[in-house]
Amino acid sequence: MSITDKALWVMERNSERSLTLNTIANACGVSRSHLALAFGTATGLPVMKYLRARRLSDAARALADGAPDILAIALDAGYGSHEAFTRAFREQFAVTPEAVRDRRSIDGLALVGALGLKAKAGNRLEPPRLVEQDVVRVVGLSEACSFDTTIRIPAQWQRFMTFYEAIADKLDRIPLGVTHNGDEEGQFRYICAVQVTRFGDNPKELLRLEIAPRTYAVFEHRGHASAIPETYFAIWNEALPALGHTVADAPILERHNPTFGPRTGEGGVTLWIPLAQ
């Protein structure tokens, strides 16, 4: 069973209000970062956004059935007050809880049902190399991203390359991508970057990031760049759980191979997954 399927089972089986990203991850036997990446890669949704939508959908059904106490429904859905519940309900469905109860109908509401994921065939992966990496210093263009906006990353690379020649003290001339600062809402930062020997005088629009030494599991992605999400799916949901590795809450590196062609997307990338110490 994939990590995503385990998480779905935990969320559907457990209704307690205290269910969080941490408790779901613990039940699945992985770190919160691992769970967030596995779930988001497989579904395109943040874990907690999906959980909230499921609970609000159940609440909408209860209200349409005439539930008399909206506060009780709010508490069951994980909200501490009538006001917080109403805000979330209106954001999800563009209507108030009272309106749904009064009209006794869920018609027109975009309810979210339980995901029934079928086994997704991930890429066949070669066993990863375990690499001890010293400190990595990168300079790059950092932008906010989420699982449903990764299609914007190629355009981000184009913007970054307009700064590329102005970056001083490059370690080599091959760019790399960095994913970091993921949160439970499925938001993270993606950096189009290049590794440098030191932080020199660089364009003010670019971010400097120093990544501490650690061990990485290095996977080969040999297909087209557009298929990288399929390799990530296999890594998060299949390869790492099978190998018994725990993912660290640290930046993920995508190193372009020397043969990589930015115009074609061919040539291969190595995916460097940080492991817990």
- Tell whether pTM > 0.85: no
- Which range among 94-103, 113-122, 146-155 shows the weakest confidence by mean pLDDT? 113-122
The span from the CA of 49 to the CA of 185, in Å, is 6
Beta strands in the chain (DSSP E): 129-133, 136-146, 176-180, 187-195, 207-211, 214-221, 252-256, 269-274
Tokens 């960095």 correspond to 178
Q: What is the pLDDT of residues 74-117, one digit of tens each?
A: 988 888 899 999 999 999 999 999 999 999 999 999 998 888 65
**Greater model confidence, 227 or 195:** 195
Q: How many residues does the chain have?
A: 277
Cβ atoms 46, 112 nearer than 8 A: no
Specify the pLDDT at position 80. 87
Structure tokens that stand for 250 in this block? 């640290």
Q: Is the dihedral of CA 29, 34, 39, 41 positive or negative?
A: negative
* pLDDT over 70, % of the chain: 96
Checking if the pLDDT of 213 tops 50, the result is yes
The domain made up of 129-274 has a fold known as Multidrug-efflux Transporter 1 Regulator Bmrr; Chain A (3.20.80)
Q: Is the dihedral of CA 263, 267, 270, 271 positive or negative?
A: positive
How many other β-carbons are positioned within 10 Å of the β-carbon of residue 24? 24
Specify the pLDDT at position 2. 79
Cβ atoms 123, 227 nearer than 8 A: yes
The span from the CA of 222 to the CA of 125, in Å, is 10
The SS3 assignment for 55 reads helix
Specify the pLDDT at position 1. 65
Q: Please name every residue paired with 131 in a beta bridge, in sequence order, or none if there are none.
A: 216
The SS3 assignment for 194 reads strand
Q: Is 276 exposed, middle or buried (0-12, 13-18, 19+ CB in 10 A)?
A: middle
Q: What is the pLDDT of residues 16-49, one digit of tens each?
A: 667 889 989 888 888 888 999 999 988 888 999 9
Mean pLDDT within 109-129: 76
Q: At what angle do helices 47-64 and 21-28 cross, to 10 degrees?
A: 110
Same CATH fold, 129-274 and 3-103?
no
Q: What is the pLDDT of residues 161-182, one digit of tens each?
A: 999 999 999 998 899 999 998 8
Cβ atoms 100, 117 nearer than 8 A: no
Average pLDDT, the chain: 89
Q: How large is the C-alpha radius of gyration of the chain? A: 22
**Greater model confidence, 238 or 272:** 272
Specify the pLDDT at position 242. 84
Closest-CA residue to 212 (of 273, 140, 136): 136
Specify the pLDDT at position 73. 92
Domain spans, the chain: 3-103, 129-274
Cβ atoms 144, 207 nearer than 8 A: no
CATH top-level class for 3-103? mainly alpha
